A and B are shown apart, each in its own frame.
Chain A
């Protein structure tokens, strides 16, 4: 059996751990640039008359009127608490697949003799007790079914956030009442296609002949079909694959016209993504930079452009990448516009060890590597962005969007730990 443990409205829950005054009250978390809502807890979701997907500036008044507490995102905190939750899962099984920041598969093979409902409950309660984060647990013979069990656990209050699919009769009963579109891995296109041939429930899908599934939906569909029938064919992935592309783009605090400030913001984003590259010991082959004006603005002239370059040698070196990014920016920047956003994307990601040198590679590469290591060590020890490329500049305040309502980093900074009076 496999359990899917999923944190309930994770970002909002993280904020609430340290804010008991907000327990039971609506809480939302805003995106990196405070532009839109990326997480809402149950109480906030219940306010159905607020269009939560709208940009925040359009609905802020309504939110405040409904006593919703808004937080800027605090990924340092969420990441750290996520780590605690995932570590705690290892108390229950030696095999854990961290699927996302708030979801993990836990391999329960060999736990057959236990009462799995109780065990699921025990997992849920231990995580809450140790970390303060509420979770839901779905247990089933396969990953796809565990995902479905988890959904059911959340829906019915009678399940108390734990649901087990432990018999074929139960599985079939559930599949009969499950719409095909809510199956993990079935997209909008496929839903449409399936509905055209009269398949509306997950059960109908599992009753189709395998040959048909294979023909219409390839091996991916076959895997889903088998998993839904209770036959495990998705392995636990305990070591995450390196990302295929890494990018970041954030709106500026105010619209910028001057190239030099945009360059500094761009250099800062580059240093962020380069750090991620180095952390996963990989290099990028391509670099893309894009520059936009605000599409929400009615008065401003609109302009957007982007350009991608192939790097001479795949790299994760901040300085090399910053230099390349500046060249692109110079090429796509046009004066006379009020820019809202600059972004960078690194793609063609390969392991550091596979990078081939070329004839023109400078012998400085090794030195640079050491420098980058030192960079990362210092920034890890003394806090993000303490050491930076000179091209990043120091005028961050002039372009950065202030995360006005970021909570303290309760678990990573002595100066920001919880205070009790």
Chain B
């Protein structure tokens, strides 16, 4: 600010100064304690190069507690142990099953080809 000749206060025009921070105030006491914000990937994904996301668009698998709009986190490197949920192919089509005792076994399933084991099911909360 400066006084103009006629004695009026002339305000300096506001200038956009993006990129230049004018720090006032006390420096943050948290400066040395900053950590990256929680990332879901860290918790849900162990092998990113083998992990695929798949969306379920029906209530066909409600008996497996997988509901419409659920997102499946599939890790193809996870071993298909008995009882695990898995995305499989039956007659050329994707399907979700619980892995039976012996792979490709008869237990209520026709022969299937494993696509990947489901490690997490993210259902929409009602």
- Contact partner of A20 (CB less than 8 A), chosen from B52, B54, B115, is B115
- Contact partner of B52 (CB less than 8 A), chosen from A21, A418, A419, is A418
Which residue on A lies nearest to B68, using beta carbons?
A: A421
Does B107 have its Cβ within 8 Å of any Cβ on chain A? no
Interface-forming stretch among A37-45, A126-134, A230-238?
A126-134
Specify which chain B residues have a CB less than 8 angstroms from the CB of A417 in the assembled complex.
Answer: 52-55, 71
Does B113 have its Cβ within 8 Å of any Cβ on chain A? yes
Does B93 have its Cβ within 8 Å of any Cβ on chain A? yes
Q: Which residues of chain A from 25 to 67 have a CB within 8 Å of any chain B CB? A: none
Specify which chain A residues have a CB less than 8 angstroms from the CB of B92 in the assembled complex.
Answer: 20-21, 23
Does B99 have its Cβ within 8 Å of any Cβ on chain A? no
Inter-subunit contact A419/B77 (CB<8 Å)? no
Q: Which residues of chain B from 38 to 77 have a CB within 8 Å of any chain A CB? A: 47, 49-50, 52-58, 60, 71-72, 76-77
The B contact surface, by secondary structure, is strand
Count of A-B residue pairs with CB < 8 Å: 60
- Contact partner of B49 (CB less than 8 A), chosen from A21, A131, A421, is A131
Inter-subunit contact A21/B55 (CB<8 Å)? no
A419-B93 CB under 8 A given contacts A84-B49, A130-B49, A130-B77: no
Which residue on A lies nearest to B92, using beta carbons?
A: A21
Does A410 have its Cβ within 8 Å of any Cβ on chain B? yes
- Count of residues in A whose CB is under 8 Å from the partner chain: 20
Binary contact track A382-414/B, C-beta < 8 Å → 1, others 0:
000000000000000000000000000011001
Inter-subunit contact B50/A21 (CB<8 Å)? no
Inter-subunit contact A20/B89 (CB<8 Å)? yes
Which residue on B lies nearest to A24, using beta carbons?
A: B92
Specify which chain A residues have a CB less than 8 angstroms from the CB of B72 in the assembled complex.
Answer: 420
Inter-subunit contact A421/B58 (CB<8 Å)? yes
Inter-subunit contact A132/B76 (CB<8 Å)? yes
Q: Give chain B's interface residues, CB within 8 Å of chain A.
A: 47, 49-50, 52-58, 60, 71-72, 76-77, 87, 89, 92-96, 113, 115
- 19 inter-chain pairs at a CB distance below 8 angstroms, sorted by A residue, are A20-B93, A20-B113, A20-B115, A21-B92, A23-B89, A84-B49, A84-B50, A129-B50, A129-B77, A130-B76, A131-B49, A418-B54, A419-B56, A420-B54, A420-B57, A420-B72, A420-B87, A420-B94, A421-B57
